[in-house]
Chain A
Amino acid sequence: MQRIYVHPLPVRIWHWINAFGFVAMIVTGFQIRYIGLIDLMSFRTAVVVHEWIGFVLIGNFFIWLIFYLFTDKIRVYHPELNPMKHFRASFRQAMFYGYGIFKGDPNPHHVSVYEKFNSMQSMSYQVIMLLLVPLQFWTGVLLWDVQRFSGMIDVLGGVRVVDTAHVLIFIFFSGFIFMHIYLATLGHTRMAHIKSMITGYEEIEEEHGGGK
């Protein structure tokens, strides 16, 4: 087994703050929207916790941004601009997850330092990190102090429009978090990818060329 260092420390710190932070945001978000259906904490506590963790996550986003902007690791986020290449790779990956994996086929994607994401991951993470997460932060800050930002909120169509956008992204992340955790368990062992996000090292199976 070869060990490759794919998750530098800033990335790992950022990831786990995000992980627990997003779970807390989803849980408090649920409590805020659905008083009457669940009663884990008071509305006010949920709002206060949601706001504090929200600001922590905004700061955390900048750890990610600064790390990737100022290192060469930004290459992992470079989009595949050739549509045919991208489509072929994505299709192959989808076929693996939808069929090949049941048969015991190997993962068509090979992790390397500058290509740690498979094409489906790469596309999803770009959309998430560059569009959905910033939008969620932006709408969240607007909702944090509606009166202060009333000018911008009015331009967008009103507080209800802003909240609907915030809730739609909340819906996406609520589904995503389960998928993300499950997909993380689809390494050569169940804990392989999770371990690598703690140690930084991904264990790569030897190529079929050498050995038995």
Chain B
Amino acid sequence: MVSSRRKSTQSTAIRAKFRAYLIIAARLALVVLVLGATSLSARAADSALSQLDQQCLACHSAKGLEMKLANGDVLPLQVQGAVFSKSVHSKIGCAVCHANTSFENHPPVKTKIAGSREYSLEMNKVCESCHAPMFKLYEGSVHATLLREGNSWAPVCTDCHSPHAVMAKAAYETSTGAPCSKCHDPIFNAYAGSVHGQATLACSNCHRAHDVSPATTGNQLKSACLGCHQDAQASHQKWLPNAKRHFEAVSCAACHSPAAKRKVDLRLYDNVAQQSVAEKAGVPQFESRARLADAKGKGLDAMALHSLLREFNREGIDNKTTLRGRLEVSTGVEAHQLTRSTQAIRDCAKCHQQGAEPFQSVTVSIVGPDGRPVRYGAQPEVLNSIISVDSLGGFYAIGGTRIKLLDWLLALAVLGGIGAPLGHMTVRWLFKRYAKKISGKEDS
């Protein structure tokens, strides 16, 4: 009997010990599992990269790895594996873009790289093979035009999309994610404080990302404003006389960036072809002609502007070159300081008054071969002179750009209209007095 009781006590103790070990083992297993899982995921990040990529990174993750180029530039060769694995290109790996490299010919000693910028420009050609439509959009942009003109620092794909850290589209669509500030720093800072910047709208919302066109030629920016502010025309028509005309002749920023300095740009326009006059590449006539007409070098006066316009009209009987005036803000920085509509300019006298500030600064412009405007200064008097009726027939702001001669004529007409009757009345009165005198003398 005693042995069976000892046996049962012994078995309970053994079972308890077994349970304790089981619990410890389970905990240990859990720890191992968790550790293993995290290390797995870490390696999953790396192992999201193919074995080939990992082989590249075996050397190229080394800090300080670099190469001296022909022109003395130093090309950094380190690639951050973790960053690359998070990028959208991690799925395609190194070999797709660096197709000219293999383990056999690596490093490609036969390939002479002239400089780091030249290398970037060369590598950017690869992007087209997968991103053909986007590349085509880019080729039509002012950035691409500047590159073709010979400015090797004009932005290419990798300037905005860091080559080994390319993100998904959404990352670039906030103002903080936009790479534009790398080159357009002052504008970006002005923009960040504006009502749009504070709403973190990206630059590409208005300027488009890949087919960026010059801001001050064409209508795409106005279309961008109206694209979001669809009721703008209707709401302006409620209180603004000639609202549609204002939308044509005045840029949005001119009233909606109240602190900006405003100016008038007179753009050469072909009335027959119904488009802005553009200079052909290699035939830069505008500046030379303007300089010729501007004898004193102080900016085109009314006569000079008139003769410049005639120069452009001499080219053919068919084209009729005119000037289309537009009221805009002076700088790109100011154009981005858009405020809430409650702070916009509503006072007509801001422009429609003699000596108004916007009409003290005038330029004449033509669309250059790269799509950007080429401007030449003109004197403010071109807006008020009598000659403007011929040369500037299409641009007029009541009161603000009025012709002074007409003011003198009006003064003459009113003074004459009042003076002649007064004079006539006076003479009649004098004659009556004289007649009275005569008849008085006759009576006596």
Contacts and interface: CB of A to CB of B under 8 A. Distances in A.
Contacts of B390: 157
B288 to A, nearest CB: 27
B394 A154 contact: yes
Interface in B192-242: 239, 241-242
Given A44-B239, A44-B348, A159 B396 contact: yes
Contacts of A174: 410, 413-414, 417
Contact of B428 (A101, A144, A167): A101
Contact of A154 (B271, B409, B428): B271
Contact of A182 (B352, B389, B421, B427): B421
B349 A35 contact: yes
A160 B388 contact: yes
Contacts of A163: 396, 398
A124 interface: no
B361 interface: no
B170 interface: no
Contacts of B424: 97, 182
Contacts of B118: none
B115 to A, nearest CB: 53
B128 to A, nearest CB: 43
Interface stretch (A10-18, A107-115, A132-140, A145-153): A145-153
A209 interface: no
A33 B421 contact: no
B27 interface: no
Contacts of A48: 241
Given A33-B402, A102-B427, A43 B348 contact: yes
Given A32-B398, A43-B349, A51 B244 contact: no
Contacts of A164: 389, 403, 406
Interface string A168-189: 1011101111110110000000
Contact of A42 (B242, B348, B353, B420): B348
SS of A interface (majority): helix
A35 B409 contact: no
Contacts of B354: 34, 36-37
Contact of A43 (B352, B393, B402, B409): B352
Given A175-B417, A179-B421, A44 B241 contact: yes
B244 A145 contact: yes
Interface residues of B, number: 43
Contacts of A148: 244
Contacts of A43: 348-349, 352, 399
Contacts of B410: 167, 170-171, 174
Contacts of A208: none
B393 A168 contact: no
A103 interface: yes
Contacts of B322: 158
A158 B242 contact: no
Interface string A92-109: 000001000111100000
A161 B393 contact: yes
Contacts of B108: none
A160 B353 CA distance: 16
A159 B393 contact: yes
Contact of B418 (A51, A97, A143, A178): A178
A175 B416 contact: yes
The 9 closest A-B pairs by CB, nearest first: A158-B393, A175-B413, A178-B417, A182-B421, A147-B244, A175-B417, A43-B348, A158-B394, A160-B396
